[in-house]
Amino acid sequence: MVNGGMVNLTGYIVLLPLIGFLVNGIFGKKINSEKISGVIGSGVVGISFVLAGLIFYEMTGAPVEARSHVIPLFHWIAAGSFSVDAAYQVDQLSILMTLIITGVGFLIHVYSIGYMHGDSGFWRFFAYLNLFIFMMLNLVLASNFLLMFLGWEGVGLCSFLLIGFWHDRTFDTGGYAAGTATTADAAKKAFVVNRIGDFGFLVAMFMIFTFFGSLNFSEVFLRAPAMFQKGDTAVFWITLLLFLGATGKSAQIPLFVWLPDAMAGPTPVSALIHAATMVTAGVYMVARCSILYALAPATMTIVAVAGLATAVLAATIGLVQNDIKKVLAYSTVSQLGYMFLGLGVGGFAAGIFHVMTHAFFKALLFLGAGSVIHAMHEEQNIQNMGGLKSKLPVTAKTFTIAAFAIAGIPPLSGFFSKDEILWKAFSQGSVVYWVVGWITAGLTAFYMFRLVNLTFEGEERYPSSVHPHESPKLMTIPLIVLAVLSVGGGFLGIPESLGGGNAIEHWLQPVFERAEVYSAPVLEGSRSTEYLLMALSVAVAIAGIYYARTIYLRRPEKAAAIASSYRGIYKLLWNKYFVDEVYDASVVRPTMRISDKLLWKGVDAGLIDGIVNGSARLVSWLSSHLRKIQTGVAQSYALVFVIGILVILGILVLR
């Protein structure tokens, strides 16, 4: 153990959720008490949060250079020159992520006690959630790529388990192929798509080991600038493959298709895993490897462009979706795109800042949506809602706060983080990045307030047999806490131009300083530009909110009119750009066909089984003939003796 202090408790932060998982997983069914399972499940995460808070507090008191620790636990793998320790790296970045994960995680656990009330798999749900927290903490606290990969795969597994939690339910896939699929299908899709990304992560890890002979972050990142020139092919491929991993986990183009379907899982899962924490793993990973990315400007451009394209694509799809969770899912994809845009232009701290604020307001939005779905008895179509404001006052208020936050209205948190990214995109990227990001901000405001207005405002469009009611306190208190965070979270990152200290950027600066050497310099003397851009982004957000209000509240008939006058575009968006269909036709079905005709019926059934069964058949064919020699008639055996003797004699005589 290194220098004493709270930081030595890091192991317990990670261990507690594992204990919760084991207790609930093994004894949960026997305990058979929602209260005990819920308290254990939430309690362990709560304690982890407190421990993380203590470590954070200790770190704030320490001098900057003493804030980064590596806590070794045990030798994990040692094989020849390959050696990996199970060790946790506690520094400014990982402690921030730990606080987000355990903090938001704790609130969502508490909420789940109310939301999952009466579910037959209550204990199983909490076991999975705890396992998820354990894996996610491994991911962010790992001090080497392999342990990170363990967490990476682990969260993928938990995501799979939780999407398919109600494995017998069906859901609407939406769009053109509006068939229903089972949640197990959605889980499978998420898993398979993530495997493609994981493949990239793995290959990148192999390459890193080949070059550095080590997988430790400290060693790899320290030696990277000496190992590679800026723009080397090797570092380009390493970072690109890592980014492929990130696109899988963080739902970016081209691998974003699993996330909307993942909404088939219980809503707290969508909030925790598919909005606040797991999907930001890719952002975290890129930020963690910032020095490698800084050495590969080509990858940085790809990251920025992919992020931007995802942001705008998902935002446009979100405009027309009618499922409350689908809108939020596309919004998540879009916001993750923003984060990658921030990373791609070198604004690593800005990206992480948005991870944090997004965790607050998106978790709040999802939990609010869960509260609505709960109240409406599993109804998710916003066209069948409306006017819920009076019935669900707490949910409506907190949801609206979150919507304002995500739309980027100052001084809520989303404004600061999104604006930081847009400013980085402008000052360190290009004007095009900013313009597209700016338009997306307007779209975001529009679809969020379309959602708010259709759900909570206007006339009641649900059948009179439904009597919506506000959720219990267990569910509303987390909403209120998250609402406070959504409002206040941004104050950690008030830019200097607005008189703030940009505390979060300063906090993270030691982690990124070596990477930022390679970034484009910030424009000088541009404060007035910064104010102008801020004003423009606030303006576009207000415009988006205003149009959403006009169209969906004052003149509801206008929505249909717009949809019919832009029929082509509407259809394209409604069908989500046919991405699923294109993937289905270009990847899924060919793969299935190759697997079916070639790999299964050809190679497996034909070749492998052919060799195995063929050799058996050959032997049995040969013996079926050979066994005729064995007549059982002693005289024919005697005849063979005689022939044999004659042959031997013949040889002896004629020789």
Shortest gap between Cβ of 635 and other proteins (angstroms)?
A: 6
Which 17-36 positions form the footprint of other proteins (CB under 8 A)? none
Which 592-631 positions form the footprint of other proteins (CB under 8 A)? 627, 630-631
Shortest gap between Cβ of 181 and other proteins (angstroms)?
A: 57
Host H or E run for residue 269: helix 267-271
Closest CB to other proteins among 633 and 652?
633
Cβ neighbors of 8 (< 8 A, separation 6 or more) are: 1, 2, 71
Q: 321 — phi, psi (to 5°)? A: -70, 150
Closest CB to other proteins among 586 and 630?
630
Shortest gap between Cβ of 640 and other proteins (angstroms)?
A: 10
Is residue 386 within 8 A of residue 401, CB to CB? The reply is no
Closest CB to other proteins among 229 and 631?
631
Which 628-647 positions form the footprint of other proteins (CB under 8 A)? 630-635, 638-639, 642
User: Both tokens of residue 334?
Assistant: 């879009």
Shortest gap between Cβ of 651 and other proteins (angstroms)?
A: 19
Q: How many CB atoms lie within 10 A of CB 63?
A: 6
Closest CB to other proteins among 79 and 633?
633
Contacts 24+ apart (CB under 8 A), 607-613: none
Q: What is the CA radius of gyration of the chain?
A: 30
Shortest gap between Cβ of 645 and other proteins (angstroms)?
A: 9
Is residue 580 within 8 A of residue 261, CB to CB? The reply is no
Is residue 385 within 8 A of residue 372, CB to CB? The reply is yes
Distance CA 227, CA 192 (A): 34
Is residue 167 within 8 A of residue 569, CB to CB? The reply is no
Q: 381 — phi, psi (to 5°)? A: -80, 120
Distance CA 140, CA 127 (A): 20
Q: What is the dihedral sign for C-alpha 498, 503, 504, 507? A: positive
Closest CB to other proteins among 638 and 648?
638
Closest CB to other proteins among 81 and 635?
635
Shortest gap between Cβ of 633 and other proteins (angstroms)?
A: 5
Shortest gap between Cβ of 624 and other proteins (angstroms)?
A: 13
Distance CA 387, CA 3 (A): 58
Closest CB to other proteins among 229 and 630?
630
**Between the CA of residue 570 and those of 122, 318, 320, 438, 517, what are the distances in Å?**
40, 11, 8, 22, 45
Shortest gap between Cβ of 637 and other proteins (angstroms)?
A: 9
Helix (H, G, I), strand (E, B) or coil at 542: helix
Distance CA 359, CA 102 (A): 11
Shortest gap between Cβ of 124 and other proteins (angstroms)?
A: 57
Shortest gap between Cβ of 643 and other proteins (angstroms)?
A: 10
Shortest gap between Cβ of 191 and other proteins (angstroms)?
A: 53
Helix (H, G, I), strand (E, B) or coil at 145: helix
Closest CB to other proteins among 79 and 634?
634
Closest CB to other proteins among 611 and 638?
638
Shortest gap between Cβ of 615 and other proteins (angstroms)?
A: 23
Q: 319 — phi, psi (to 5°)? A: -60, -30
Terminal-residue alpha carbon distance, the chain: 88
DSSP character string of 174-229: -STT--EEEHHHHHHHHHHHHHHHHHHHHHHHHHHHHHHS--BHHHHHHHHHHH--
Write the interaction track for other proteins spanning residues 137-176; mark x where CB under 8 A is met and - where it is not: ----------------------------------------
Distance CA 549, CA 560 (A): 15
Closest CB to other proteins among 620 and 635?
635
Is residue 152 within 8 A of residue 132, CB to CB? The reply is no
Write the interaction track for other proteins spanning residues 556-595; mark x where CB under 8 A is met and - where it is not: ----------------------------------------
Closest CB to other proteins among 629 and 654?
629
Shortest gap between Cβ of 636 and other proteins (angstroms)?
A: 9
Is residue 380 within 8 A of residue 535, CB to CB? The reply is no
Instruction: Compute how many residues bind other proteins; rule: CB under 8 A.
Output: 10
Closest CB to other proteins among 464 and 635?
635
Burial of 95 (0-12, 13-18, 19+ CB in 10 A): buried
Closest CB to other proteins among 618 and 642?
642
Closest CB to other proteins among 592 and 645?
645
Helix and strand totals (H; E) in the chain: 28, 4
Closest CB to other proteins among 603 and 639?
639
User: Pairing mode, if any, of strands 180-182 and 82-90?
Assistant: unpaired
Shortest gap between Cβ of 619 and other proteins (angstroms)?
A: 17
Shortest gap between Cβ of 630 and other proteins (angstroms)?
A: 5
Helices (H), 272-412: 281-288, 290-294, 297-318, 324-344, 348-375, 393-407
Distance CA 236, CA 240 (A): 6
Q: How many residues does the chain have?
A: 655
Helix (H, G, I), strand (E, B) or coil at 143: coil
Residues that bind other proteins (CB under 8 A): 627, 630-635, 638-639, 642
